[in-house]
A and B are shown apart, each in its own frame.
Chain A
Amino acid sequence: MAKIKIYNPGLLTTIQDLGRFGYQQYGMPVSGAMDSYSLKLANILVGNKASEACFEATAIGPTIEFDSKAFIAICGADMSPKLNGADIDMYKTISINSGDKLSFESLENGFRTYIAFAGGIDIPVVMGSKSTYLRGKIGGFNGRQLKFGDELLLGKVESSIDIKHISKHQIPVYKNHFTARIIAGPEVGHFTVSGLTSLLNSEFTLSVQCDRMGYRLAGEKIEHKLSSDIISSGISFGTIQVPAHGEPIIMMADRQTTGGYTRIANVIYVDLPYLAQLQPGDTIRFQEIKLEEAHNLIQKQEKAFNLE
């Protein structure tokens, strides 16, 4: 089995798949890739199941050495990937030779990049998933982010690997501003007209308080008509909660399963990968759409995963 060694872990590199499902009823967060679209594309390029675990690197990529032949693919943020110091393509299957070193340089756009390895990563499946849940210290590689000197085994490659690439129109473009489409939330009636106007007509900035758990946004305060607290209940990926301070918080991959703040809206599924690629300081606007439209967009997105 191929082995890889971490020379430099980057800023925050964890192992993630599509998440840990079935245990939210016990309070267990789902975790998984912040940007599931990039994770799926990267897996497909190396012949893996779309749901296989990848490296999720944040802002600064890792340096990895391979001890045998391998195939990888890199999708998501452009961190200027290099193989033995020379530029390599993203969104394309890359063939690796024994002794090759993968590294990254400057962050050109986006915030999180996904590295898929043909055969996947050979780590234990904990409660149905390989995803790292950092706060709970479970899953992934010993429940933590990767460190200098870590050695990991790759899974067996079952069949021959073709070099593939993703066509240009399927490759997302990341900018420093994003308009996230939303669906009205259960407590939309808890806000004043002025509060709802703030949500829909003003611009928010992603604060430095942003991590895999949630994004706090700075901007016009969103005014409540009634109390900001609710009886604790479910929250999902992309739920926008507004506590008493009036600054919205978008719940992300490592979110708690339940929350006690008013849920004003929810970012739609196909826009979550773009949220995952925002950098602190980037700006966000919200645009309301209908549920049916959001479902049509999911079907459209799914077509990107049929590479032929």
Chain B
Amino acid sequence: MFKYIPLGDSSFLIKLGDTISTSIHKQLQALFLEICNAQIKGIVELVPAYNELMICYNPLEIKYSILVDKLKHIEEGLNTIELPELFLLHIPVCYDPEFAPDIEIVANTSKLTTEEVIQTHSSVEYLVYMLGFTPGFCYLGGMNNKIATPRKESPRQIIEAGSVGIAGNQTGIYPIDSPGGWQLIGKTLLKLFDPERKPEFLIRAGDYIKFNPITKIEFEEIKNLVESGEYTLRKDRRDG
């Protein structure tokens, strides 16, 4: 049984568990999709996180108790739901020193060579648990703890969109220019977020991503394709 917890008078949380796990994530994705499909009048939007799904609603359009009853009904039927196809997205990343100002720090901390850092970072299929923090920022699961490195002591004032970094045992991509303290080890040219594009966001919660190392020459080639809108993201089907 999930818990239904008010978060003020216009949103509430459905709590599925107390930990970060792939099984909770998959249940949450199923619940999220089922509630979307049900198109319940009065629901404003849904915000999935690791172990909780936030439901924003308009209490003038639907009573809280009625909405919770409807959602509990959906919850009861959840085991029979088939999850939609999963995709593995290949994100080209250039780990050239020009884009990787902190890769030596990561290598020294993990007592690996920079080549081994790149190999370790790019050999995992990362699960996108959720998006949050800034538009398009993906919380990824699955990084090898060998390359875990603490954040920088003093954050950078500006980190360019597309920068790939490590902070503690997390890795991620900066979707927009922003300040930050992550150790930067590479860069992608793909725009995770572009308000002028449809869809605006490249990656969704529930997708898997893999970082594909590319050379500086390939980086320049991709740059031209991305700028002319001709770049196609490699997307493979993936089982569970």
Contact = CB atoms under 8 A, between A and B. Distances in A.
A binds B: yes
Interface of A: 21-29, 126-127, 135-136, 138, 183-186, 231-239, 256-258, 263, 266-269, 291, 294-295, 298-299, 302
A234 B7 contact: yes
B10 A256 contact: no
Interface residues of B, number: 46
Interface stretch (B49-57, B81-89, B232-240): B49-57
List of 9 A-B pairs having minimum Cβ-Cβ separation, nearest first: A234-B54, A266-B8, A258-B132, A294-B9, A233-B49, A27-B131, A26-B201, A236-B11, A233-B52
A126 B195 contact: yes
B60 A298 contact: yes
Contact of B50 (A231, A236, A238, A266): A231
B13 A233 contact: yes
B10 A236 contact: yes
Contact of A268 (B8, B46, B49, B193): B8
Contacts of B13: 186, 233-234
Residue from B8, B45, B49, B53 whose CB has the most chain A CB atoms within 10 Å: B8
Given A136-B134, A231-B20, A233-B51, A183 B45 contact: no
B205 interface: yes
Nearest to B137: A27
A65 B51 CA distance: 52
A232 B64 contact: no
A235 B5 CA distance: 12
A263 B9 contact: no
A232 B50 contact: yes
A183 B200 contact: no
Contacts of B9: 183, 266, 268-269, 291, 294-295, 298
B165 interface: no
A183 to B, nearest CB: 6
Given A22-B45, A26-B131, A298-B59, 6 more contacts: A26-B204, A27-B136, A186-B7, A233-B49, A291-B64, A298-B9
A22 to B, nearest CB: 5
17 contacts: A21-B44, A25-B205, A26-B131, A26-B201, A27-B137, A29-B135, A136-B176, A232-B50, A232-B130, A234-B52, A256-B132, A258-B133, A263-B7, A269-B10, A295-B9, A295-B64, A298-B59
Contacts of A236: 7-8, 10-11, 54, 56
A256 B134 contact: yes
A136 B46 contact: no
B60 A28 contact: no
Interface in B133-187: 133-137, 139, 175-176, 178
Interface in B32-54: 44-54
A24 B195 CA distance: 14
Contact of A291 (B6, B18, B44, B46): B6
A105 to B, nearest CB: 36
Contacts of A232: 49-50, 130, 132-133, 139
Most chain A C-beta atoms within 10 Å of own C-beta, residue among B7, B44, B204: B7
Contact of A231 (B45, B49, B134): B49
A136 B135 contact: yes
B6 A183 contact: yes
